[in-house]
Amino acid sequence: MLTGRRATRVAERGVWPAGRRLARPRAAGRPLARLLVGGLLLLAVACGGGAEGVGAAVDPPATSAPPPVRIMIVGDSITHESAGDYTWRYRLAKHLERTAPGRVDFVGDRADLWDNVADVGGSLDYPDPDFDREHHARWGISIKDQLDLGDVLRRIPADVILFAAGANDLSYYTNPPDTIAVLRRVIDTARAANPDITFIVGHVLTRADFSTNEFNLPGAPEFNKLLDATAPSWSTAASRVLVARTDEGWNPFVHAWDGSHPTPDGEVLIARGFADALAGLGIGEPYGPVASGISWPGTGRAPTAVPDGPTRVRLAWPATPGATQYIVEQRSVSAGERTFARAPASVAGYQWTSGELPPGVTMAYRVVPAKGRMIGKPGPEVVITVGFPAPVAAGAAGAGGVPGG
């Protein structure tokens, strides 16, 4: 949870300096069961379960609310997500705000998004930043990069780990059985820091290649089957390991904007998987029905328009966070057109020049951002009148039909 000066620093940078953590008045190794039972006892006291006689007023004993369950979300680019995305972390946080208010605190050393255009971290371009944004995810990492998770937990204590990684391992480094073995090592390193830690591991999501219209992560289904078969045996009396069905209903041709990273609809599916697993621990409620057809919130910015010679117009516009391309829409005001038509090709940059236009025509233009296969909302229009032909010099032949002297 972001508070005080720490909130200001994270808001400015998106990343908490390595090795630094705001002190929390809580022990590092609180058993999750103790936290959940504490909440139930408070509920019983509030409901007045004493036996002092009919109608007797009973003052409940003085008590304080149990500390919230600290949840650290660990993952790769699927979890980090990029500029302009709500993120599945947002979807889960909002669900827990509704179903477990005040009972959960996301913790981590980052609060940022990845800037997918500049290819750097530190973006704070959330469509809605009003949620608990702390996490421990980074674009491009693999499970083997999390073998220092015990050190992270010593700096930033947590009670529950939501773990969503493995696609990069399966794509570049290890086969499914070896990836499972590395995951087990990560869990062991986390338990060295907190023997009571609870792990919820998400299924690895399949990927798609839009150019060939084929799935391109064949190791994901095998990994998920191995995870389902072996993860329950990793649990101990103090430290449980559960599996989240984050891939239920997932289709990368529908739910990924570039074949890998989730659209808003994909975010909801991932959040549902983790929410349902948390509900099994008594944290919040099952997610329930998922929405679909959620639009990407990217919106075009206001363009500027200037003449580019006597019969062309040049547009320029500011970037929309996360957008990878732009679509220019146009209509002829002079011809009374009320609807916009799209230019035939999208633009990767932030400028566009029209084809030749009739002199004196008045045109309106607007810009629509796109992020992969996600199309955003058009921005405001700009109106410009194309210049008339350059005037003929005075006294030249044909000027006013009078030859020069």
Query: Which H, E and C letters describe 218-236, residue by residue?
Result: CHHHHHHHHHHHHHHHHCC
Mean pLDDT of 159-170: 97
Residue 25 pLDDT exceeds 50:
no
User: Is-contact 240 199, C-beta < 8 A?
Assistant: yes
Q: Which of 339, 343, 346, 369 is nearest to 357 (CA)?
A: 343
Of 63-72, 98-107, 309-318, the least confident:
63-72
Q: Which of 85, 135, 86, 141 is nearest to 115 (CA)?
A: 85
What pLDDT is attached to residue 384?
A: 96
Residue 58 pLDDT exceeds 70:
no
Half-sphere exposure of 282 (CA within 13 A, CB side): 12
Task: Please name the amino acid found at residue 316.
Answer: A
- According to DSSP, the β-strands at 69-75 and 136-137 are parallel
pLDDT grade for 64, boundaries at 50, 70 and 90: confident
pLDDT grade for 42, boundaries at 50, 70 and 90: very low
**Which residues lie below 8 Å from residue 402, measured CB to CB, with a gap of 6+?**
none
- According to DSSP, the β-strands at 325-332 and 362-371 are antiparallel
Q: Which of 369, 398, 321, 397 is nearest to 122 (CA)?
A: 321
Structure tokens of 210? 């839009």
User: Is-contact 282 240, C-beta < 8 A?
Assistant: no
Whole-angstrom distance, CA of residue 93 vs CA of residue 396 = 75
Residue 54 pLDDT exceeds 50:
no
What pLDDT is attached to residue 18?
A: 39
Identify any residues that bridge with 115 across adjacent strands, giving them in sequence order. 120
* Residues of the chain above pLDDT 70, percent: 80
CA distances from 378 to 8, 80, 146, 255, 320 (A): 32, 27, 41, 22, 11
**Which residues lie below 8 Å from residue 233, measured CB to CB, with a gap of 6+?**
none
Whole-angstrom distance, CA of residue 287 vs CA of residue 277 = 10
* Residues of the chain above pLDDT 90, percent: 77
Whole-angstrom distance, CA of residue 250 vs CA of residue 247 = 5
Of 5-19, 182-196, 247-261, 382-396, the least confident:
5-19
Q: Which long-range contacts (CB under 8 A, 24 or more apart) does 38-45 make?
A: 38/66, 39/65, 39/66, 39/103, 42/66
User: Is-contact 326 346, C-beta < 8 A?
Assistant: yes
Domains parsed from the chain with CATH numbers: 9-18+28-36+64-280 (3.40.50.1110), 304-385 (2.60.40.10)
What pLDDT is attached to residue 12?
A: 44
pLDDT grade for 23, boundaries at 50, 70 and 90: very low
What pLDDT is attached to residue 31?
A: 60
User: Is-contact 268 290, C-beta < 8 A?
Assistant: yes
- According to DSSP, the β-strands at 104-107 and 69-75 are parallel
* CA 232, chain centre distance (Å): 29
DSSP state of 120: E
Mean pLDDT of 235-257: 97
Residue 393 pLDDT exceeds 50:
no
Residue 399 pLDDT exceeds 50:
no
**Which residues lie below 8 Å from residue 317, measured CB to CB, with a gap of 6+?**
300, 301, 302, 303, 304, 326, 350, 367, 379
Tell me the pTM: 0.83
What pLDDT is attached to residue 26?
A: 39
Q: Which of 109, 107, 115, 108 is nearest to 140 (CA)?
A: 115
User: Is-contact 319 350, C-beta < 8 A?
Assistant: yes
Which H or E run includes 351? strand 351-353
